[in-house]
């Protein structure tokens, strides 16, 4: 079972790290690919460069042999569409079960994604519940079915219950660029390796806001 977890990771924070480790505990994943987006199709552009975001993800990946920082989307000179990523994974890993991890808010918005019905035929979805998010629509369930154990399946979805971690990259960037806090002070939000990297490379400096 190969897991896929994407995001801008601008910067990667302990919320991301918590979801990574809990995902590895929840399902028999042999490898979890952490994929920084190059040019997000539906979000503002990242503040940190692709190279810096990949480097920070690589540092987190060093904490567990099952984690792999994957630059497949950074190699594309175009917006990052998940369907393209999953097509490339399916072509490369013909016989492997692919599991795409995402939050409940992203899952319920799947009908707005590019070629979302094709996307649903390429992988299983492991969905992290988020308090206050909408429930899946009938339009979505008609394509992906009802929630069920996905172990050993090619398609479908299931909830992956996790301990929530209330922080966002947006909030962290605000603390660094607006509130002028140092990454060294954000022990509750950033992994030590991420803190060091941000400080050493002077990322998210106020002058860049």
Question: Which letter, b or e, does each residue of 64-77 get, where b requires 16 or more Cβ atoms within 10 Å of its Cβ?
Answer: eeebbbbbbbbebe
Q: Are the beta carbons of 64 and 36 closer than 8 angstroms? A: no
Q: Is 181 domain-assigned?
A: no
Residue 38: per-residue pLDDT? 83
Residue 155: per-residue pLDDT? 95
Q: Which residue has the higher pLDDT, 130 or 77?
A: 130
Q: Is 172 domain-assigned?
A: no
Residue 132: per-residue pLDDT? 83
> CA–CA distance from 31 to each of 28, 51, 81, 103, 168 (Å)?
9, 22, 21, 19, 25
Residue 60: exposure state from Cβ atoms within 10 A (0-12, 13-18, ≥19): buried
What is the chain's Cα-based Rg? 17
Q: Is 171 domain-assigned?
A: no
Q: Is 132 domain-assigned?
A: yes
Domain that holds residue 139: 2-166
Q: Is 194 domain-assigned?
A: no
Continuous segment of H or E residues that includes residue 206: none
154-195 pLDDT, tens per residue?
Answer: 999 999 988 878 788 999 999 999 888 899 999 999 999 999
Angle (deg, nearest 10), helices 50-61 and 14-26: 50
Q: Is 79 domain-assigned?
A: yes
| pLDDT reading at 151 higher than 70 | yes
32-69 pLDDT, tens per residue?
Answer: 999 998 866 566 778 999 999 999 999 999 999 999 99
Residue 40: per-residue pLDDT? 60
Q: Which residue has the higher pLDDT, 57 or 208?
A: 57
Residue 46: per-residue pLDDT? 86
CATH number at residue 8: 3.40.50.620
Q: Is 183 domain-assigned?
A: no
Residue 100: per-residue pLDDT? 97
Query: pTM of the predicted model, to two decimals?
Result: 0.90
* Counted domains in the chain: 1
Tokens 């990574």 -> residue: 20
Q: Is 103 domain-assigned?
A: yes
């Amino acid at each position: 079972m190969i897991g896929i977890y994407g995001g801008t990771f601008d910067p990667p924070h302990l919320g991301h790290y918590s979801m990574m480790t809990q995902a590895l505990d929840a399902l028999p994943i042999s490898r979890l690919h952490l994929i920084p987006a190059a040019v997000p199709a539906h979000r503002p552009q990242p503040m940190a460069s692709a190279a810096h975001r990949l480097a920070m993800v690589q540092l987190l990946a060093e904490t567990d042999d099952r984690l792999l920082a994957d630059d497949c989307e950074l190699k594309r000179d175009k917006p990052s569409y998940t369907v393209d990523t999953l097509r490339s994974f399916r072509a490369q890993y013909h016989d492997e079960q692919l599991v795409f991890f995402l939050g409940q808010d992203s899952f319920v918005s799947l009908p707005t994604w590019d070629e979302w019905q094709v996307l649903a035929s390429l992988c299983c979805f492991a969905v992290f519940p988020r308090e206050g998010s909408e429930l899946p629509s009938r339009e979505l369930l008609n394509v992906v079915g009802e929630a069920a154990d996905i172990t050993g399946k090619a398609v479908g979805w299931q909830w992956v219950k996790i301990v929530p971690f209330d922080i966002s990259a947006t909030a962290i960037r605000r603390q660094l660029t607006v509130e002028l806090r140092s990454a060294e002070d954000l022990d509750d939000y950033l992994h030590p390796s991420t803190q060091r990297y941000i400080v050493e490379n002077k990322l998210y400096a106020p002058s860049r806001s």
